[in-house]
């Protein structure tokens, strides 16, 4: 199977924060991959922009290093890299001052192309950038801006940010990135749900017992301690990534696979979410790891605050009050320093109403698991007869579609960022969050956070390398259920 790469139209992509971590780790290597795949037209230009004083060649050196470090196997791609670097330019600019803006304006004078500006800087600079782009005549009606998370830290700040951007750009020019939406499997989730007759009739509270969404990381807060301690797992992961996954799994079929049709349905899910009861949430902080092989500081040591009340782990149960899902619980958990790096959505179906095989055969459930990382793929657990003599014993076996195996070379890894940047150039907003979606997600999140803050709750410790607090297992046990194993 060979993939069909359709080149995008000529474009200029200005990366504000072009020297930063995200640009070096994701954006620039991603663009290089699209260049190698033939998707970037030769006339496209990538213009890095930051305060550090560099000329074009100085920046090309940084870009080359970033691609060598983060761009995967470069074997045989030396000439491609050279050609790619010819498309790269740099402007020394201050988002909060006037330096560099005339130079950038000069760059952006070519009107024969799509103009996109990636705000890969602190959100505190988004307003400055939007205002200056407008002031210097670069905020035309066709211009696109890409903004990174975090999009606010509560409803009030998200509204403010939306209003700041809306002062100079219309909603269809704003691309709010949630890179989870760019993952192959996440889009496959929609293909599986809405491209097959098999699942949709069963996709409701009549047949689904519950749904689990787990995003487990093995890393700690690392160098992001200062930012993370002001956010925590709820703001950093649940309000955006897990919420987006919940929407895609729970939404009604949109009439078309078109940006607003999809986003309207996602918004309805968020608005139908019930408030979460305090005893349906558990929060944790990882403890230090002091084994012979691994040694890591505790969460509080990592963030440098021995009294921090910020969670590095959260598990919660929520309900969606609509006809499809009334009575079906959705369990979500995410955390750092867990036993394995794994993101998985599991749709756990109900048991058969009656077992014709008798009590000894046990009760079995089908589970549809959608793995986002690692080994992206979909598994359907089905019940079959255990082979061999000895009567009718039942076992559960997986029908496994690991994309890398099923699709061979064609599943050649397209990173979420690559796909999303190409979508920006194509003008396709389907996989980007709309302003009202972000606000609705904060409107649900805010009371939860205010609740534990007003009660003065402190997260419970959990040992590093485990799957979170004992309370999270208790949350499931009380309902007669179990978390799925976090497997690498
Ligand atoms: P970073 O490493 O601190 O980089 C910030 C960039 O902004 C640098 O290029 C910096 O360059 C530039 N900058 C700072 N002040 C500026 C100013 N006044 N004018 C122009 N440029 C300025 O940050 P990052 O990790 O790349 O994160 C960038 C954005 O992506 C943030 O919104 C972050 O929340 C988001 N994000 C990052 C990640 C990640 O994995 N890194 C993941 C998700 C979201 P100079 O110092 O040379 O100006």
Percent of the chain with pLDDT over 70: 98
For the Cβ of 17 lying below 6 angstroms from any atom of ligand 1, the answer is yes
> Which of these ranges, 58-72, 123-137, 247-261, 374-388, has the smallest mean pLDDT?
374-388
Average pLDDT score over residue span 110-128: 93
All structural domains of the chain: 11-148 (3.40.50.720), 181-415+434-477 (3.30.360.10)
pLDDT in tens, 17-40: 999 999 999 999 999 999 999 999
> Pick from 252, 290, 298, 294: which is nearest to 271 by CA?
252
Asked if pLDDT for residue 477 goes beyond 80, the answer is yes
pLDDT bucket at 119, cuts 50 / 70 / 90: very high
Average pLDDT score over residue span 111-136: 94
pLDDT in tens, 177-186: 999 999 888 8
Backbone angles phi, psi at 351, to 5 degrees: -70, 160
Percent of the chain with pLDDT over 90: 80
Strand partners, 333: 214, 315
Per the annotation, does 22 bind a ligand? yes
Distance from the first to the final alpha carbon of the chain: 28
C-alpha 207/C-alpha 192 separation (Å) is 17
Per the annotation, does 229 bind a ligand? no
C-alpha 438/C-alpha 416 separation (Å) is 20
Average pLDDT score over residue span 462-478: 97
The pair of three-digit structure tokens given for residue 144, joined into one six-digit string: 């696109």
pLDDT of the residue at 3 = 61
pLDDT in tens, 408-463: 655 456 789 999 999 999 999 999 999 999 999 999 999 999 999 999 999 999 99
Q: Which residues contact 417 (CB under 8 A, 6 or more apart)?
A: 26, 27, 30, 177, 179, 182
What DSSP letter does each residue of 346-385 carry, written as one string?
A: EEEEPPPSS-TT-GGG-----EEEEEEESS-EEEEEEEEE
pLDDT of the residue at 2 = 53
Cα of 174 from ligand 1 centre, angstroms: 19
What ligand 1 atom has the least distance to the C-alpha of 50? 21
pLDDT bucket at 393, cuts 50 / 70 / 90: confident
C-alpha 320/C-alpha 327 separation (Å) is 8
For the Cβ of 93 lying below 6 angstroms from any atom of ligand 1, the answer is yes
- Cα separation values, 20 from 23, 59, 85, 107, Å: 5, 12, 18, 21
Question: Which candidate in 33, 168, 210, 241 is catalytic?
Answer: 241
The answer for 454, left when phi > 0, alpha when psi is -120 to 50, beta otherwise, is alpha
For the Cβ of 123 lying below 6 angstroms from any atom of ligand 1, the answer is yes
Residues 200/369, Cβ–Cβ less than 8 Å: no
Cα of 112 from ligand 1 centre, angstroms: 29
Asked if pLDDT for residue 77 goes beyond 90, the answer is no
Average pLDDT score over residue span 253-274: 97
Tell me the average pLDDT of the chain: 93
Q: Omega before 306 cis (within 30°)? A: no
pLDDT of the residue at 223 = 86
The helix (H) or strand (E) run that includes residue 163 is: helix 155-166
Average pLDDT score over residue span 371-384: 89
C-alpha 286/C-alpha 272 separation (Å) is 32
Give the sheet arrangement for strand 11-16, strand by strand.
Answer: 88-92, 45-50, 11-16, 114-119, 144-147, 174-176
For the Cβ of 22 lying below 6 angstroms from any atom of ligand 1, the answer is yes
C-alpha 16/C-alpha 94 separation (Å) is 9
Distance of CA 62 to the CA centre of its chain: 26
The pair of three-digit structure tokens given for residue 313, joined into one six-digit string: 């782990």
C-alpha 177/C-alpha 149 separation (Å) is 7
| Residue with CA at minimum distance from ligand 1 atom 44 | 149
- 241 classed as catalytic: yes
Secondary structure of residue 427 in the 3-state scheme: coil
> Which of these ranges, 59-63, 246-250, 383-387, has the smallest mean pLDDT?
383-387
Indicate the length of the chain as a whole number.
488
Average pLDDT score over residue span 85-98: 96
For the Cβ of 51 lying below 6 angstroms from any atom of ligand 1, the answer is yes
pLDDT in tens, 277-317: 999 999 999 999 887 777 899 999 999 999 999 999 999 99
Strand partners, 461: 285
C-alpha 9/C-alpha 43 separation (Å) is 9
Asked if pLDDT for residue 215 goes beyond 80, the answer is yes
pLDDT of the residue at 392 = 82
What DSSP letter does each residue of 193-259 carry, written as one string?
A: HHH-TTTGGG-STTTEEEEEEEEE-S---GGGHHHHHHHHHIIIIIIIIIHHHHHHHHPPPPSSSSH
> Pick from 230, 153, 182: which is nearest to 445 by CA?
153
């Amino acid at each position: 199977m060979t993939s069909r790469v359709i080149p995008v139209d000529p474009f200029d992509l200005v990366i504000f924060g072009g020297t930063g971590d995200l640009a070096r780790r994701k954006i620039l290597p991603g663009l290089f991959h699209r260049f190698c795949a033939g998707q970037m037209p030769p006339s496209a230009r990538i213009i890095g922009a930051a305060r550090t004083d560099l000329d074009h060649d100085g920046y090309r050196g940084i870009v080359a290093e970033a691609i060598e470090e983060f761009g995967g196997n470069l074997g045989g791609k030396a000439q491609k890299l050279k050609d790619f670097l010819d498309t790269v330019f740099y402007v020394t600019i201050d988002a909060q001052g006037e330096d560099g803006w005339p130079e950038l304006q000069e760059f952006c004078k070519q009107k024969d192309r799509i103009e996109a500006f990636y705000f890969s800087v602190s959100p505190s600079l988004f307003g400055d950038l939007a205002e200056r782009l407008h002031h210097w005549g670069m905020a035309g009606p066709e211009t696109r801006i890409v903004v990174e998370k975090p999009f606010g830290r509560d409803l009030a700040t998200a509204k403010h940010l939306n209003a700041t951007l809306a002062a100079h750009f219309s909603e269809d020019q704003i691309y709010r990135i949630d890179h989870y939406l760019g993952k192959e499997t996440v889009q496959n989730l929609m293909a599986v749900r809405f491209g097959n007759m098999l699942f949709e009739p069963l996709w409701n509270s009549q047949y689904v017992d519950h749904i689990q969404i787990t995003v487990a990381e093995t890393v700690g807060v690392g160098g992001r301690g200062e930012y993370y301690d002001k956010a925590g797992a709820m703001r950093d992961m649940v309000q955006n990534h897990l919420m987006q996954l919940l929407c895609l799994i729970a939404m009604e079929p949109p009439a078309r696979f078109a940006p607003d049709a999809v986003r309207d349905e996602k918004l309805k899910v968020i608005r139908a979410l019930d408030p979460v009861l305090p005893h349906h949430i558990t929060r944790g902080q990882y403890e230090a790891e002091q084994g012979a092989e691994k040694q890591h500081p505790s969460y509080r040591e990592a963030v440098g605050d021995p009294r921090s009340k910020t969670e590095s782990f959260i598990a919660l149960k929520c309900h969606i009050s609509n006809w499809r899902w009334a009575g079906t619980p959705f369990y979500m958990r995410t955390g750092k320093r867990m036993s394995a790096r794994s993101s998985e959505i599991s749709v756990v179906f109900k048991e058969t109403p009656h077992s014709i095989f008798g009590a000894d055969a046990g009760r079995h459930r089908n589970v549809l698991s959608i793995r986002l990382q690692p080994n992206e793929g979909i598994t359907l657990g089905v019940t079959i007869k255990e082979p061999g003599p000895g009567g009718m014993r039942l076992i559960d076996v997986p029908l496994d579609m690991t994309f890398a195996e099923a699709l061979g070379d064609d599943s050649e890894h397209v990173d979420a960022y690559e796909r999303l940047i190409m979508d920006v150039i194509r003008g396709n907003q389907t996989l980007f969050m709309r302003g009202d979606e972000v606000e609705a997600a904060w409107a649900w999140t805010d009371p939860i956070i205010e609740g534990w803050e007003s009660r003065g709750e402190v997260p419970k410790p959990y040992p590093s390398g485990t799957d979170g607090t004992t309370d999270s297992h208790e949350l499931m046990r009380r309902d007669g259920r179990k978390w799925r194993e976090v497997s690498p």
